[in-house]
Amino acid sequence: MNHSIKKEDVLAAFEFRHATKEFDPTKKISVEDFDFILETARLSPSSVGLEPWKFVVVQNADLREKLRTVSWGAQGHMPTASHVVLVLARKDASYKSDYFWQQLTGVKQIPAENVKNMMGRYQSFQEEDFKLMESERALFDWASKQTYIALGNMMTSAALIGIDSCPIEGFDRDAVDAILREEGLLENDQYGISVMAAFGYRVKAPRPKTRREATDVIRWVE
């Protein structure tokens, strides 16, 4: 592993990153650079290693316009961003689902017997510890929480190579799902929209970054 990256370079990327509201439409991210950003999403961690996500890159202008009409927080992004990513979350991340079993035994290659022996723990975690089985929405929201890990990694990796981004939650979730369903992008409703993200290059400098002081948000217990 290459440890040559410097801590100050990482912090500089966090200082550089801001919620870009409008991008320069004449500047496009290279295929190589955006593949890198997507790969950091794919390699992101998730609870139980379920990877309950899909990343839909929307470059079609007509579909972007449809999404813009139901996304009040993406009015400047849809027409100008080099790339727009819809981050979908799975609806069937239950320990009872075929997806859960296939992910652990097929993708993660955990022996089936080991998964069977752990199933009681997974059931307890979802039903009792986090109460994820109380409603379909609770289970979906848990899957959506995992997608935000990938979202953060995409934005950070973009900032590290000088690319701007903006996370987008300002949309009508049901309306977006309806559009994506019509486009055949929800895979028989196995997925739902979790969050959006736009990427590109800024057209103007942002105002200075503001954050609460470290003493307000960090507490040590020794």
Region 72-80: mean pLDDT is 97
Confidence tier at 2 by pLDDT (50, 70, 90) = low
The pTM (predicted TM-score) of the whole model is 0.95
pLDDT per position as a tens digit, 114-132 = 999 999 999 999 999 999 9
Residue 141 near residue 148, CB atoms below 8 Å: no
pLDDT of residue 4: 77
Q: Report d(CA 75, CA 171) in Å as an integer.
A: 10
191 Cβ contact list (under 8 Å, min separation 6):
54, 88, 89, 90, 91, 185
85 burial via Cβ count (<10 Å: 0-12, 13-18, 19+)? buried
120 burial via Cβ count (<10 Å: 0-12, 13-18, 19+)? exposed
- 179: helix, strand or coil: helix
Confidence tier at 5 by pLDDT (50, 70, 90) = confident
Structure tokens at 208: 């200075």
pLDDT of residue 72: 98
Region 90-104: mean pLDDT is 97
Q: Report d(CA 1, CA 73) in Å as an integer.
A: 39
pLDDT per position as a tens digit, 18-63 = 999 999 999 999 999 999 999 999 999 999 999 999 999 999 999 9
Confidence tier at 1 by pLDDT (50, 70, 90) = low
pLDDT per position as a tens digit, 147-198 = 999 999 999 999 999 999 999 999 999 999 999 999 999 999 999 999 999 9
181 Cβ contact list (under 8 Å, min separation 6):
189
